[in-house]
Amino acid sequence: MGTAERLIASTQQLLWERGYVGTSPKMIQQHAGAGQGSMYHHFAGKPDLALQAIRRSAEELRSQAEEKFREPGPAYARIAAYMLREREALRGCRVGRLAHDPEVVASPILREPLAETFAYLRRRIEELLVEGRERGEFAEAMVAAEVAAALVAVVQGAYVLAQSAGSVEVFEQAVRGGLHLLAAYTA
Amino acid sequence: MGTAERLIASTQQLLWERGYVGTSPKMIQQHAGAGQGSMYHHFAGKPDLALQAIRRSAEELRSQAEEKFREPGPAYARIAAYMLREREALRGCRVGRLAHDPEVVASPILREPLAETFAYLRRRIEELLVEGRERGEFAEAMVAAEVAAALVAVVQGAYVLAQSAGSVEVFEQAVRGGLHLLAAYTA
């Protein structure tokens, strides 16, 4: 892996663990085993490097979600596969955790990959809900856009609850509760 | 307000805006208009002061929630009142946002008020769901503990979505979606 790639991968790890405010250029250089000169040769600075890292993490997350959305089977099962996929509950979401980072939220450029990721997740789940509703899987009255937003929120909130409690079990309870509610809409 | 109280109130504000990692003792002193000597006279250090501030914010949050839980009316309406209560969606939850703070999560002492707050919210909503189920408001099959965890997660996740999108409307969509799902359980 070249130096630029190592710097991006290290920044991804540090942003996941410590957030943007908690990650210094020095930490990134040490983690990547790269010098200061090398970092500034490849990137304009911490914001530029962080933007590449956040975009990369957002792409990885979307591609993992898309794998589940594309599984064969009814809409409910595909949404459940997304919500139940293996996660590191106590590390938090590599993308969502940055929504609580004051400097990410204050920067429209750094915030954009977050906005895109959640817009994508909501749109894909909404599409599955509409598809399921048309097939008679869900009740006619379902407001798909709002339910999709709620299901994405359940996963993000489940991380908050799990990290607060220091318990993976809490993550699973919240996600199962969300699916339980969705199941009430199925025939 | 005495100096100790001003220091606690300032720390509450800064933790809400910037998190624990993003808040320095100097920022707290400036915000409170207090000197370094005065801060260390009243508190052993940043962790001690932060613990008082987090406990205070957690108490405030629980008391605001309890007001809604105690309203008269059916369980669904009381849960809805909690979920729809006026919030500053783009500031995030003053307690939940700290679950993404690496130094809060790493400290069992600082994390405790977070754990307590979410355990309290889950327990109270579970009680309301059980009460509603016994009165015939909800379907018999409802797994109250899991659904309660999911509803608390919806609110916390709604903050993540709203802050990512820079949109209050997104918060409201997710919360309405959660209530919409819960309504499917009512007769």
Residue A187 reports pLDDT greater than 60: no
Residues of B with Cβ-Cβ distance to A18 under 8 angstroms? 21, 102
Mean pLDDT across the stretch B73-85?
A: 95
Express each pLDDT in A60-113 by its tens digit.
Answer: 999 999 999 999 999 999 999 999 988 899 999 999 999 999 999 999 999 999
Q: Average pLDDT of B83-98?
A: 93
Task: Evaluate whether residue A103 is within a structural domain.
Answer: yes
Please indicate, yes or no, if residue A141 is contained in any of the structural domains: yes
A87: in domain: yes
B92 within domain boundaries: yes
CA distance, residue B12 to nearest chain A CA (Å): 15
Domain assignment of residue A107, yes or no: yes
- Report CB contact under 8 Å: A102, B142: no
Confidence of residue B139 (pLDDT cuts 50, 70, 90): confident
> In this predicted model, what pLDDT tens digit does every residue of A164-174 receive, in sequence order?
999 999 999 99
pLDDT digits (tens, 9 = 90+) for A27-55: 999 999 999 999 999 999 999 999 999 99
More confident site: A187 or B43: B43
- Has residue B50 been placed in a domain? no
- Does any domain span residue A72? yes
Q: pLDDT class for B75, splitting at 50, 70, 90?
A: very high
Domain of A152 in residue numbering reads as 57-183
Which among A19, A161, A182 has CB closest to B153? A161
Is residue B114 domain-resident? yes
Among all chains, which residue has been given the structure tokens 């509409």?
A: A130
Who among A146, A170, A182 is closest to B176 (CB)? A146
Token couple for B101: 């703070």
Q: Is B27 left (phi over 0), alpha (psi -120 to 50) or beta?
A: alpha
Does the pLDDT at position B154 exceed 80? Answer: yes
So what's the pLDDT on residue B142? 83
What CATH number is attached to the domain comprising B105? 1.10.357.10
Q: Does A151 touch chain B (CB under 8 A)?
A: yes
Q: Is B49 helix (H, G, I), strand (E, B) or coil?
A: helix
Q: Which residue of A has its CA nearest to B18?
A: A102
Judged by a CB distance cut-off of 8 A, whether residue A109 touches chain B is: no
Facing A160 at nearest CB: one of B122, B145, B156: B156
Q: What pLDDT shows up at residue A82? A: 96
Number of domains, chain B: 1
Cα–Cα distance for residue pair A151/A149, rounded to 1 Å: 6
Interface test with A, best of B15, B164, B186 (most A CBs within 10 A): B164
What pLDDT score was predicted for residue B116?
Answer: 98
- When pLDDT is averaged across residues B27-32 and rounded to a whole number, the result is 97
Q: How far is CA B178 from CA A52, B115, B129, B159, B185, in A?
A: 34, 22, 14, 13, 12
Looking at residue A141, what is its pLDDT? Answer: 79
Average pLDDT for residues B104-121, to the nearest whole number? 98
pLDDT band per the 50, 70, 90 thresholds, residue A185: confident
A 28-87 residues with CB below 8 A of B? Answer: none
CB contact under 8 A, B177 and A111: no
pLDDT over threshold 90, residue B118: yes
> Which of A58, A12, A55, A91 is CA-nearest to residue B100?
A91
